[in-house]
Structure 1
């Protein structure tokens, strides 16, 4: 599979993603709802080595969420210029994975369809 590209809202951070994601998830957790200002977010789970920051490394910032369902913190990685969340790093997996926002990947919403639903019981809240 050819590499795909993505960026934050302002384009200050660009990424190159190699290979297919392990899974694509539609998440209804409270954090995803708040972060997206929507009922859910769609994220693709990649190995850390698959996601390469091409430009804007100096703009990459982390916000650590500690009140998580797993009890393990997760890092919200975002652009310090436009505030756009790029991916989440759930520390329950160590630093191994990147849960990338599908909407930030070129043709991501078209090509990456969810194969899992997380926190589906919160769908109608």
Structure 2
């Protein structure tokens, strides 16, 4: 890895087939593991790894025309969001809050879609009442700790 600081590091991300490609600059400002039923169904797994980036550090580089979205209005928070996925391979790529809500200036990216995301650790788990019984509590980083997410 280069000597660039983590705020300058640019990481590549993509869907499974590589049609949809994007970059993120720096580290996410938030990372959580979501156990809500919609994230479980959307990911096809026990939870979804959601890393949060401001719009200004997220750049689409290919496949914009292959992106489709599902308007998820039946969320546990009651706040609708748009779940974007690749129309060719079906991979989840990111989701966005509705434009009229706080945090609408954020891309919430599926962690595994980003190369090098294994250096980050989640800060929080959400919707623990839906956590499947065979999933152990995750080791999370307290908010005040200085480390890579």
Flag whether TM exceeds 0.5 (same fold).
Answer: yes
Q: Which runs of 5+ in 2 are unaligned?
A: 1-5, 134-149
Within the alignment, does 1:54 sit opposite 2:58 as a pair?
no
Higher strand share: 1
Matches within 5 A, 1:1-125: 1=6, 2-91=9-98, 92-93=101-102, 95-108=104-117, 110-124=118-132
CA RMSD of aligned residues (A): 1.4
Count of matched residue positions in the alignment of Structure 1 and Structure 2: 124
Q: Which runs of 5+ in 1 are unaligned?
A: none
CA-CA distance at 1:121 after TM superposition: 2.0
2: CA distance, partners of 1:86 / 1:75: 11
CA-CA distance at 1:94 after TM superposition: 5.3
Larger radius of gyration: 2
2: CA distance, partners of 1:59 / 1:71: 28
Q: Normalized against structure 2, the TM-score is what? A: 0.78
Distance 1:83 1:124, change over 3 A: closer
